[in-house]
Amino acid sequence: MEARVQLSKHMFAFAETMSLRCAVELGLPDKIYEHGPLTLAELATKLPIESVNMDRFEQTMRYLVHINLFTPTTNHHEETKYELTPMSRLLLSKIHNNKSLATFVMGATDPEELFVSGRLVESLGGSKSCWELQHGVTLSEKMMNDNKWSKVSDALNANTLNMIDAVVDGIKRESIIDQSVTTLVDVGGNTGIAAKAILNAFPHLKCTVMDLLDVVENVPKDPQLTLVAGDFLSSIPNGDVLLLKSILHGYDDDVSVTILNNCKKAMHPTRGRLIVVEMVLDMETMQEFSHARLGLAMQMMLIGGKERTKKGWERVIHMAGFTRYKIVPIAAAESIIGLGVGCQMRKSRRGRRFEVRKSRGYNRGLKSLKFEKARSALEESLRRVEDIVPQAIVLVIVNELERTIFTLDPLEKQVGDDVIALLQQDRNFNDGGNNNELEIFHQAASRLGITSS
């Protein structure tokens, strides 16, 4: 029975997408917000439809209540009225909610994009995406030819507005941007919403927003931003900090490596850093977004893009020649992937691996055993506190360890030499020899301050 229930749920999952889009397209959240709780008949009079089929409308509202988009209440006249829920408030238009996700929902549920899913089986057998198989061109080519960019731009801006605060918090928490950097380039930054949010947090920065000419020409002039027309597949303006937000998931690995290489060329050689904001499919944090992450991964695959796991990101990062990076979870479906200066921490099977380079004078013999143990203890301690101590502090410790040269105390060195010389003696031990051996160990213990009670 349970299996049948699950199967039925998946078979009819399209109903959620379909009814959600219908609610936004009809502006139902705005109608209820503007006029208060409404009965079905009252709500029908507000619709942009000349003659409403009340039977179908009632069924639609029943499903929207089922998915918690609206909630029904009954007054003393026993009339059922519909009220907003926290989810439907996210779908109020920009007039009522400047962080509205209505345009993002309309973009994500575009029938033209969803229709290509019928070519999924065919796409598994070749190099072309479902979109390209259906339309004969890539999504970006079709958007430019059909002048659909304005709608896509609105959808991207809506998503940016809802996640950028979390991005800025992550940047602050990890000290990815500090006073040592002075310039920021928002690569493929659309209208510059992300750049302006970062500028508000770090007002000492000079911000540049780069995007295609057709995009830049339609961006309102802002004295805080320098707008640059260009193609990140060719070249990118130089900067201390580069931002790539929701860009790489639109491309396969080869193209993503090209973009990352162009970023690397544009980064300052000594203080440059790259902030990538993308989903990490197997991120342990924000598990409530796991279903959405996997769903978007399927949709991006249909249109020629690619969401990635940690290993997938690591592969692309290494292919682009970056050796230092860290993945920073934030309060959103996305994560920050920091590359470059200050991004030494990596993930290993046991968690983060803190790379501590051994100095040239560091011996790997018996005398250095205590140093190996000390390093291991330090690394283990760092792993234990990394979730409660700001990573900026951890990085300071790691940097100090990297510069530290370990040497033996002369007294301890002499003790070690005496003990080793004794152990290397090739002789038959008699009572006298045993006493001599014990005497040497006793002297070694005295020099080290070891006593017994």
Q: What residues are annotated to the active site?
A: 249
Tokens representing residue 306 in the block: 């690619």
Structure tokens at 195: 């750049």
Distance CA 416, CA 406 (A): 16
Neighbours of 311 (CB within 10 A): 11
Helix axes 253-266, 310-319, angle to 10 degrees: 60
Task: Detail the DSSP E strand segments found in 237-329.
Answer: 241-245, 273-279, 325-329
Q: DSSP for 193-226, please give it.
A: HHHHHHHHH-TT-EEEEEE-HHHHTTSPP-TTEE
Instruction: Give the integer Cα–Cα distance in Å for 294 and 292.
Output: 5
Residue 32, CA atoms < 13 Å, CB-side half-sphere: 25
CA distance 43 to 427: 102
- Give dist(CA 9, CA 2) in Å, integer: 11
Structure tokens at 22: 């219908």
Q: With contact defined as beta carbons under 8 Å apart, do 52 and 44 qualify? A: yes
What does the alpha-carbon distance between residue 260 and residue 132 come to, in Å, rounded to a whole number? 24
Instruction: Tell me how far apart the alpha carbons of residues 90 and 33 are, in angstroms, rounded to a whole number.
Output: 12
| CB-CB neighbours of 344 under 10 Å | 21
Structure tokens at 260: 């990352």
246 three-state secondary structure: coil
Sign of CA dihedral 220, 226, 229, 232: negative
How many other CB atoms sit within 10 Å of the CB of residue 34?
13
Q: How far apart are CA 306 and CA 300, in angstroms?
A: 6
Cβ–Cβ under 8 Å, residues 296 and 352: no
Provide the pairing of β-strand 206-211 with 183-187. parallel
